[in-house]
Amino acid sequence: MNWSVGLAAAHLPSSETELWACFPKSSRKAAYPYVLEIDRWYWYQQAKSQLLKNLDDDRNYNVAKNLILFIGDGMGMTTVTTSRILRGQKLGKTGEENELAFDKFEYVALSKTYNTDSQVGDSGACATALLCGVKGRFETVGLDDSGRYDKCQSSFQSRIPCLADWAQAEGKSTGLVTTTRVTHATPAAMYGHSASRYWESDDKIPEESRAACKDIARQLVENDPGRNINVILGGGRRHFLPRKENDPRMQTDMGRREDGRNLIDEWLRDKKTRELDYEYIYRKEDFDKVDPAKTDYLLGLFNHGHMAYEVDRDSGPDGEPSLAEMTRKAIEILRKNPRGYFLMVEGLDDKISDVDNMPYTTLLYANGPGYNHNFPTGRENLTGMNTEDKNYVQQSAVPRRWDTHGGEDVPVYAHGPMAHLFRGVLEQTYIPHAMAYAACIGPQRDDCERRRHTFHRQVIECPSPHTNSATTSTALVASNIFLTATWLFWTLILHSRTLSLWEPC
């Protein structure tokens, strides 16, 4: 069997010109608008083009100057497939033949998503694995397995360094962009170490533990690496403001802090004391006025809680920037550093049943708020219902206030320098170590320097922290991002010589 396959491969056409010579002229069709109109030769050509591309695989061993990690909770295969079809249909196609930006990446892998004490992981512990390279316990952040949920004392010896620490140690700039609260579970793992993902401000910490354990917002403002993160954009003002202070945009909402501290003012004082170029903003109008050339540190908190979904977003002067706009602004600020940067971006977009002849949507969830209690003996008939309405909630089989993580392996898509490191079935903990190796930072730095000199290829030296290395390549590592943002980012990504990686938690 192997000999036959090898023999066949040895006689494959070596170019697309030679490939087309194998087909009748009448079959040499260009692109087709609808899948059902395409004959067999189209699929032969498509397969052969992909095969020739794979046979001509030229691995990129360059050192990555920049790292960008995209994370999108919920972007499992079902959501990705549905999004691919929907986008194709919006482009006037049938949908299935459409390609998303990351579908074109050269390398694909699968990543496991469990925690050390849970088969189905949560965002905090999954983000710890993605950002720190160590698995932890359910609903803890930035801790190894010895850290226990809700146990303050257990966090003292279980704190672990992460990608932001490794990048800053090499003189790189760092940034955080999210549509959630900046203290929420996933972004918190970039800089925080907490026995509970819910300790976003001191009001959530048990009173007996408040003196010993800092809340996540304080860690962002006071501790390394948080206080040295150059760009912080997202929501969550409530965890930075004292309980008796009104929110500047939402006057009926108050801060959550019980210690009476205004951490936004403290962030501003810290940057002023250190004589840095900084800005704090909370409106779209002020965001648009930020000059990246004159700003090295930017804090933008655009909502009292999570930022609005894109379909609900107020894009006016008093509103919020989009995820794409925030990412673009962050890169414009971070890329000024000749040593490079690390940026983390997190984003939260009719058939007939063969059984009961009632329509259902392509996207369905096993549990969540879409369960309808009014139909105990069957499911709801969607005939005449506007499933495209922005407030429509997808059906689910089990009632819950919100959906849960699925626990299944999730896809990883990679492109660019050292992208070939992302193959097969991976532990989530492998991802930041591979990123560190690609950029020659952190615990993989020495191994990176030693091993790359053994390749019989052009190798770029790993730069020292004191060397301007503007010639090294950019690496983008991305975990499954919100699809609308992916397409907005693609032009930016495509011209960055990037390593791209997509893997949802």
Handedness of CA 416, 419, 420, 424 (dihedral sign): negative
186 annotated as belonging to a binding site for a ligand: yes
**Is CATH 3.30.2350.10 the right assignment for the domain spanning 66-351+409-453?**
no
193 annotated to a ligand binding site? no
Query: Domain map of the chain by residue range?
Result: 66-351+409-453
Write the DSSP symbol of residue 496: T
- Residue 72 Cα distances to 79, 80, 130, 247, angstroms: 11, 11, 12, 28
N- to C-terminal Cα distance for the chain?
Answer: 38
Catalytic residue among 83, 111, 123, 479: 123
**pLDDT < 50: residue spans in the chain:** 1-16, 19-20, 22-35, 349-371, 373, 375, 396, 398-403, 456-474, 477-498
pLDDT at res. 50: 80
**Distance between CA atoms of 395 and 387, rounded to whole angstroms?**
10
Q: Which residues contact 187 (CB under 8 A, 6 or more apart)?
A: 127, 176, 178, 180, 181, 234, 344, 346
Cβ–Cβ < 8 Å for 72, 504: yes
Q: What's the confidence (pLDDT) of residue 402? A: 43
**If 0-12 CB within 10 Å is exposed, 13-18 middle and 19+ buried, where does residue 272 land?**
exposed
Is residue 231 within 8 A of residue 333, CB to CB? The reply is yes
Report the alpha-carbon angle 10-16-18, nearest 5: 65
pLDDT of residue 379: 53
Is 73 known to sit in a ligand binding site?
yes
- For 481-496, the pLDDT digits (tens) are 222 233 233 323 333 4
CB neighbours (10 Å) of residue 171? Answer: 17
- What are the beta bridge partners of residue 246? 254
The verdict on whether residue 346 carries a ligand-binding annotation is: yes
Is 466 annotated to bind a ligand? Reply is no
Phi, psi of 181 (to 5 degrees): -65, 140
380, 371 Cβ separation under 8 angstroms:
no
Answer whether 105's CB lies under 8 Å from 414's CB.
yes
Query: Is 496 one of the catalytic residues?
Result: no
Q: How far apart are CA 243 and CA 140, in angstroms?
A: 25
What token pair was written down for 490?
């693609």
